[in-house]
């Protein structure tokens, strides 16, 4: 299932007034499309050319870049777009990204979207993402004063393994071995270390501490929400289970659902794809909704819930 996503834009050449259509990438997964990552670095991702007169220009499109290895999501805001509008746009693209990722890759860091000014801003931010869990741990180990290059201090080792965890099971094992990572004091301590590193001019080390702090804060919030849900259970609801696997074009249909902005668009989409009125389609969307809850995106989960209600004819 592809993760990266593009869509056509209808444009009019400002020079010769010729209308034409240009394809623009809105979601780029770094591992899946390194060629598109290079186009971002070159600030050419959204470049276009009039087929009539050859005039060059830029498609006014957003870009959401996902880098799993760096545990980062960058959003390039189209120039002069109002904040309320780009916030909603970024949220919609994030839902699409999460929905396209395998369940094991739907981790808490996805909720930490870093906004930048256009493709150029994302390209500049990419230069700061030359980061792996190992390099972060090495930077933290250096900052914490390890004298043995083959042995990291316990805190650095714990952070390294936490950042390197690629499945919920691996993450749970790390937290079981190093329960102190979830202490609230860790947030203040890592923030202080990051600030001290900045004061010393060690910006790479500061970034490593800050990444660890953000990741741990997100983990703590997710676990707190899960604990509250268990402590205050809601009335039992009927769980809808799909009796059949999704059709081959389900990913396209799901993305179309997430791109809808109101009930009328959802109704039109349901007319175009009658399968959306089925119990199975509702169950498949319910799985996406649960995936968003699992990564702490309660707003996204709520919006999918509202879309399900519209598609079932309840609104």
Q: What is the pLDDT of residues 91-111, one digit of tens each?
A: 889 989 988 888 777 777 787
State the distance between the two ends of the chain, measured CA to CA, in whole angstroms: 31
pLDDT value at position 26? 95
Residue 183 has pLDDT above 60, yes or no: yes
Nearest to 76 by CA among 12, 136, 130, 120: 120
Nearest to 3 by CA among 20, 26, 24: 26
Question: 107 with 182: CB under 8 angstroms?
Answer: no
- Rounded Cα gap, residues 227 and 131, in angstroms: 32
SS3 22: strand
The stretch 165-169 carries a mean pLDDT of 67
The stretch 145-168 carries a mean pLDDT of 64
pLDDT value at position 240? 43
| Highest mean pLDDT pick, 117-121, 147-151, 250-254 | 117-121
Residue 31 has pLDDT above 70, yes or no: yes
- Helices marked H in 154-243: 154-164, 168-177, 185-199, 203-231
Residue 242 has pLDDT above 50, yes or no: no
The stretch 193-204 carries a mean pLDDT of 67
Torsion on CA atoms 86, 87, 88, 94, rounded to nearest 10? 100
- Token pair of 190, please? 């890592």
Q: What percent of the chain has pLDDT over 70?
A: 71
The stretch 283-297 carries a mean pLDDT of 69
Residue 208 has pLDDT above 60, yes or no: yes
SS3 14: coil
pLDDT value at position 296? 52
The stretch 51-62 carries a mean pLDDT of 92
The pTM of the full predicted model, rounded to 2 decimals, is 0.50
Band (pLDDT 50/70/90 cuts) for residue 36 is very high
pLDDT value at position 239? 41
- Rounded Cα gap, residues 178 and 270, in angstroms: 48
Q: What percent of the chain has pLDDT over 90?
A: 21
The stretch 169-193 carries a mean pLDDT of 77
Residue 20 has pLDDT above 70, yes or no: yes
pLDDT value at position 236? 38
The continuous run of DSSP H or E covering 76 comes out as strand 72-77
**CA-to-CA separations, 303 to 56, 74, 75, 272, 292, in angstroms, rounded:** 38, 22, 20, 21, 10
Q: What's the helix, strand, coil split of the chain in %, to 5?
A: 55, 15, 30
The stretch 252-270 carries a mean pLDDT of 80
Q: For the chain, give the mean pLDDT.
A: 77
- Rounded Cα gap, residues 136 and 156, in angstroms: 9
Band (pLDDT 50/70/90 cuts) for residue 299 is low
Q: Which residue has the tokens 């880098």?
A: 67
Residue 306 has pLDDT above 60, yes or no: yes
**82/134: higher pLDDT:** 82
| Parallel, antiparallel or unpaired: strands 5-12 and 72-77 | unpaired
């Amino acid at each position: 299932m592809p993760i990266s996503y593009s869509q056509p834009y209808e444009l009019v050449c400002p020079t010769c007034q010729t209308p034409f259509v240009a394809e623009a990438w809105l979601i780029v997964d770094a591992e899946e499309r390194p060629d598109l990552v290079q186009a971002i670095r070159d600030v050419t991702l959204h470049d276009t050319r009039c087929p009539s007169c050859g005039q060059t220009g830029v498609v006014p499109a957003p870009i959401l870049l996902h880098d799993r290895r760096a545990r980062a999501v960058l959003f390039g805001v189209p120039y002069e777009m109002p904040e309320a509008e780009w916030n909603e746009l970024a949220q919609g693209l994030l839902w699409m990204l999460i929905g396209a990722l395998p369940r094991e890759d739907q981790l808490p860091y996805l909720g930490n979207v870093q906004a930048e000014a256009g493709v150029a801003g994302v390209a500049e931010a990419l230069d700061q993402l030359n980061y792996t869990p190992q390099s972060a741990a090495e930077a933290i180990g250096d900052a914490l004063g390890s004298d043995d290059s083959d042995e990291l201090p316990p805190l650095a080792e714990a952070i390294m393994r936490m950042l390197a965890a690629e499945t919920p099971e691996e993450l749970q094992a790390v937290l079981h071995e190093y329960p102190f990572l979830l202490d609230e004091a860790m947030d203040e301590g890592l923030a202080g270390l990051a600030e001290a590193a900045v004061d010393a001019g060690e910006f790479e080390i500061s970034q490593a501490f800050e990444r660890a702090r953000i990741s741990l804060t997100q983990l703590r919030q997710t676990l707190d929400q899960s604990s509250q849900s268990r402590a205050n259970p809601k009335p039992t609801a009927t769980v809808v289970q799909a009796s059949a696997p999704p059709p081959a074009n389900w990913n396209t249909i799901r993305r179309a659902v997430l791109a809808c902005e109101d009930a009328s668009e959802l109704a039109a989409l349901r007319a175009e794809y009658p399968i959306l009125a089925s119990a199975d389609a509702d169950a498949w969307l319910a799985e996406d909704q649960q995936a968003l809850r699992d990564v702490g995106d309660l707003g996204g989960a709520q919006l999918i819930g509202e879309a399900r209600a519209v598609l079932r004819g309840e609104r």
